[in-house]
Amino acid sequence: MSELGPKPAEFRQELARLAASSLNIEERGAAILEQLGRVLSFDVGWLAVRDPERSRHVPVATTGSAAPLQDYFARPEADEEVDRLGLNRRRPPMLASESPIPLPELRSWADHLIPAGFQQGLAAGLFTPEGRLIGSLRLLSGDASRPNDADRRLAAAVTTAIATNLDRTKDIAETARMLHSASAGVVLTRGGDVLPLPGLDDARLLSPGSRVLAVAAEELAQSGPYISFLARTPDTQAEQLVRVVALDFSCQVLDHLSAAVLLCPPGDVRGLTTLDLRVLGHLVEGVSDVSALAAALGVPTPTVFDSLARSLTALGTADLTVAAVRAVSGGIRLPPGLVGEP
Partner 1 sequence: MSTDVALRLAEIAADPGPIPERAQALVEELQRHVPFDGSWLAMAEPFGTGYASVAARSLDRSTTDYLGGPKAARDLEISGANRERAPMSPSDLPVPLEEIPTWAECLLPAGYREALGVGLFAPGGRHVGHLALLSASGRRPTAEMRRSLSELAPIIARGIDPMRSLAVAASVVQGATAGVVLCQDGGTAPLPGLAEDALLGRGTALLDAAGHALRAGQVFTSFLWPRGDRHAPDGHVRVTVLAGPNDVPPVSLGMVLLSPSGDVHGLTARELEILGFLIDGRANKEIARALAVTLRTVAAHVEHVLVKLDAPSRTLAAVRAARLGCYVPAAAAARG
Q: Is 321 in the site for partner 1 (CB under 8 A)?
A: yes
Binding to partner 1 in span 259-318, by CB under 8 A:
267-268, 283-286, 288, 317
- Taking the complex as a whole, the smallest distance from the CB of residue 21 to partner 1 amounts, in Å, to 8
Nearer to partner 1, 19 or 103 (CB): 19
73 vs 296: CA distance, rounded Å: 53
108 vs 72: CA distance, rounded Å: 6
Instruction: Starting at the earlier edge strand, list the strands of the sheet with 241-248.
Output: 194-196, 184-189, 257-264, 241-248, 226-232
Binding residues with partner 1: total (CB under 8 A): 56
Nearer to partner 1, 41 or 175 (CB): 175
Q: Rg of the chain's alpha carbons, rounded to an integer? A: 26
Exposed / middle / buried, residue 145 (Cβ in 10 Å: 0-12, 13-18, 19+)? exposed
- Taking the complex as a whole, the smallest distance from the CB of residue 220 to partner 1 amounts, in Å, to 10
Q: List b or e across 70-85, with b for residues whose CB sees 16 or more CB atoms inside 10 angstroms.
A: bebbeeeebbebbeeb
Distances from the Cα of 99 to the Cαs of 103, 191, 311, in angstroms? Answer: 7, 33, 68
Q: Is 9 in the site for partner 1 (CB under 8 A)?
A: yes
217 vs 227: CA distance, rounded Å: 10
**Segment lying near partner 1 (by CB under 8 A), choices 36-44, 115-123, 173-181, 205-213:** 173-181
Question: Can you tell me which of 17, 38, 84, 91 binds partner 1, judged by CB under 8 A?
Answer: 17
Question: What DSSP line would sit under 258-324, residue for residue?
Answer: EEEEEEE-----TT--HHHHHHHHHHTTT---HHHHHHHHTS-HHHHHHHHHHHHHHTT-S-HHHHH
Q: Is 16 in the site for partner 1 (CB under 8 A)?
A: yes
Nearer to partner 1, 60 or 106 (CB): 60
**Segment lying near partner 1 (by CB under 8 A), choices 12-20, 61-69, 229-237, 301-309:** 12-20
Q: Is 199 in the site for partner 1 (CB under 8 A)?
A: yes
CB 277 within 8 A of CB 205: no
87 vs 192: CA distance, rounded Å: 25
CB 81 within 8 A of CB 107: yes
**Segment lying near partner 1 (by CB under 8 A), choices 62-70, 166-174, 187-195, 290-298:** 166-174
Question: Can you tell me which of 20, 104, 238, 239 binds partner 1, judged by CB under 8 A?
Answer: 20
Query: What would the x/- binding string for partner 1 be over residues 67 to 106, using CB under 8 A?
Result: ----------------------------------------
Question: Can you tell me which of 132, 153, 170, 232 binds partner 1, judged by CB under 8 A?
Answer: 170
- Taking the complex as a whole, the smallest distance from the CB of residue 337 to partner 1 amounts, in Å, to 15
CB 250 within 8 A of CB 190: yes
By CB under 8 A, name the binding residues for partner 1. Answer: 1-2, 6, 9-10, 12-13, 16-17, 19-22, 24, 164, 170-171, 173-175, 177-181, 198-199, 219, 222-228, 245, 247, 249, 251, 267-268, 283-286, 288, 317, 319-322, 324-325, 328-330
